[in-house]
Amino acid sequence: MSIGKQGIDTVAKSAATLAKSARIEILNMTSLAKASHVASSLSVIDLLAVLYSGIANVTPDNHEKADRDIVILSKGHAAAAIYSVLALKKFFDSSWLNNYCGDGAQLGGHVTSTGVPGVELSTGSLGHGLPYGLGIAISRKLTKSPGNIFIIMSDGECDEGTTWESALIANHYNLNNLCVIIDRNRIQSLDYTESTIALEPFIDKWRSFGWDVIEVDGHNYLSLAESMSEKSSKPKCIIANTVKGKGVDFMENTVLWHYKSPNDEELSSAISQVEKN
């Protein structure tokens, strides 16, 4: 899609507002539920905020229509991020967020599609989103149907073999309706990505598989909107450099906050930081 400079400015402005509200929801949700993955959600939230502020053609009104754009959050552990965005965009009632991970809740700690409007695929086991989205992209190519497919992955997820299988297949079938966006926060479950299973030179890897690769600041709404709306003749990979825990200084760039949930004191400190930004 091409939305012009003015369109990009509008998207970036809405995304900033959306991301700020979503960050507060994420902090509240993970604190209340004593849930993990707050930092993963804070790193990916700006990508989601831009997508849902006018880049991806998916709304509460068209999310069941065949020609909608598809957004799949393959890093399903950042459930709080996508749920807060979908609630703020009114895909479902925001009261659902209050019972996140609770008994009988609609919303659990990993992304679940059943009964949750706007969620395309249940994820949580890494490496599933890309092959699935690839299938949708191929099907639309075969039937010459419109619409883009956006897959948001974590960098640690790229350890999965399906990532590279699918990277081969997408190139072979020339799926330029497919866009992978990688939340490159450089931290995975136990350590930094480069100390775990090194991904660098990351851009070269994707490029050598035949993809268009764009590297951007994953917290810059304008750059994100530009990269996502840029047309490509190939499958596209946006490597969005992010900071795990972005927006809350004591959560930023630490492995600990992959797991820990904020207590009351940490919560109020975190929220005041987000509000000031």
Residues in contact with 101: Cβ distance below 8 Å, sequence separation at least 6, in sequence order: 33, 35, 107, 108, 109
Segment near other proteins (CB under 8 A); pick from 36-44, 88-96, 127-135, 241-249 = 127-135
Residue 255 and residue 187 in contact, taking contact as beta carbons nearer than 8 Å: yes
CA 198 to chain centre: 22
d(CA 50, CA 10): 10
Residue 238 and residue 206 in contact, taking contact as beta carbons nearer than 8 Å: no
Q: Does 73 bind other proteins (CB under 8 A)?
A: no
Q: Does 176 bind other proteins (CB under 8 A)?
A: no
Q: What is the nearest approach in angstroms of other proteins to the Cβ of residue 51? A: 18
Closer of 35 and 121 to other proteins (Cβ): 121
Q: Does 139 bind other proteins (CB under 8 A)?
A: yes
Q: Binding mask 31-70 vs other proteins (x if CB under 8 A, - otherwise)?
A: -----------------------------------x----
d(CA 244, CA 68): 30
Closer of 168 and 197 to other proteins (Cβ): 168
Q: Does 80 bind other proteins (CB under 8 A)?
A: no
Q: Does 130 bind other proteins (CB under 8 A)?
A: yes
Closer of 125 and 174 to other proteins (Cβ): 125
d(CA 75, CA 125): 8
